[in-house]
Amino acid sequence: MVRCSNNLVGILNFLVFLLSIPILAGGIWLSQKGSTECERFLDKPVIALGVFLMVVAIAGLIGSCCRVTWLLWFYLFVMFLLILLVFCITVFAFVVTNKGAGEAIAGKGYKEYRLGDYSDWLQNRVNNGKNWDKIRSCLIESKVCSKLEAKFIDVPVNNFYQEHLTALQSGCCKPSDACGFEYVNPTTWNKNTTGTLAHPDCQTWDNAKDRLCFDCESCKAGLLDNVKSAWKKVAIVNIIFLVFLIIVYSVGCCAFRNNKRDDSYTRTYGYKP
């Protein structure tokens, strides 16, 4: 008699196999059709994820439905490693995103961001010149500041000051309030000498559209604030995924035990039950 746990593992892995197809196709599409380096940057991880899910799903599907014990053992071993990996990544995400938050500015709708407020590990990632050059390129290609400028064309400065800017808009597209620069539009400010020494980013600011504050510490901090928010969401999803993996692993262990019992029965009586 076919065991219920074997059927359940087979069904779950068939669904995972179906899921792996669009993931793999998406990675291949990015590698062929990605118009920017930032889009193509994701192709290899997405392809690797699609292939991994497909291989594991096939192993679980064949191992459970065809009752191939060694293949099901391999499937459970990989699942165990995956559970450990997801658990470690989840804990790590909570640890490195525990610090850092935007600082409210009196009379302004937006916040400002300081690099030193975030974890040392995250700071080291963005302070690496090679890493930041790629990130900077992606930020420019995303036109985050061009879109902000277009939104506030011919808009009074007070309206801009009351706007709730994103962390990237606040950190990368405008100078720090401590600089005391004169507002022209969101990405154009007249420098003066009164505030240029008040903040290290004041000297870095440039009105050129490909410069602005993309090399400022505030821009790096704004990026880290985005990363922090995204990682916290991912960590919550990981917890749900971890529970799902543990349930599937437990069912897989039952299927493996069934396979072992069937193998023992076959050796004893010469046929499968």
SS3 call for 218: helix
Confidence of residue 220 (pLDDT cuts 50, 70, 90): very high
Closest alpha carbon to 164 in 227, 112, 241:
112
Rounded Cα distance, 225 and 234, in Å: 14
Sign of CA dihedral 234, 237, 243, 248: negative
Q: Which of 34-48, 72-86, 105-119 has the lowest mean pLDDT?
A: 34-48
Question: Of the candidates 78, 171, 77, which has an alpha carbon nearest to the alpha carbon of residue 118?
Answer: 171
Exposed, middle or buried, 181 (CB in 10 Å: 0-12/13-18/19+)?
buried
47: pLDDT strictly greater than 60: yes
For all residues of the chain together, what is the average pLDDT? 83
The helix-helix angle for 4-33 and 43-65 (nearest 10°) equals 160
Counting residues of the chain whose pLDDT is more than 90, the rounded percentage is 20
pLDDT on residue 171? 93
The model's pLDDT over 90-110, given as tens digits with 9 standing for 90+, comes to: 899 888 888 778 888 888 889
Query: To which residue do tokens 């993996």 refer?
Result: 245
Does residue 218 carry a pLDDT above 90? yes
Q: What is the largest CA-CA distance in the chain?
A: 93
Q: Which residue has the higher pLDDT, 5 or 17?
A: 17
pLDDT tens-digit readout, 160-216: 888 889 999 999 999 988 888 888 888 899 887 655 566 788 889 999 988 999 999
Render pLDDT for 231-252 as a digit per residue (tens, 0 to 9): 888 888 889 888 988 988 888 8
Pair 14, 57: CB distance under 8 Å: yes
SS3 163: coil
CA distances from 214 to 7, 85, 150, 225 (A): 54, 34, 18, 15
C-alpha distances out from residue 227 to 31, 65, 167, Å: 24, 42, 10
How many residues in the chain? 273
> What span, in angstroms and rounded, lies between the C-alpha atoms of 177 and 77?
55
> What's the N-to-C CA distance of the chain in angstroms?
6
Cα–Cα distance for residue pair 59/68, rounded to 1 Å: 9
Residue 127 pLDDT: 92
pLDDT at 103: 87
Burial pattern 124-155, b for ≥16 Cβ within 10 A else e, equals: ebbeeeeebeebbebbbeeebbeebbeebeee
User: Is the per-residue pLDDT at 266 higher than 60?
Assistant: no
pTM for the model: 0.81
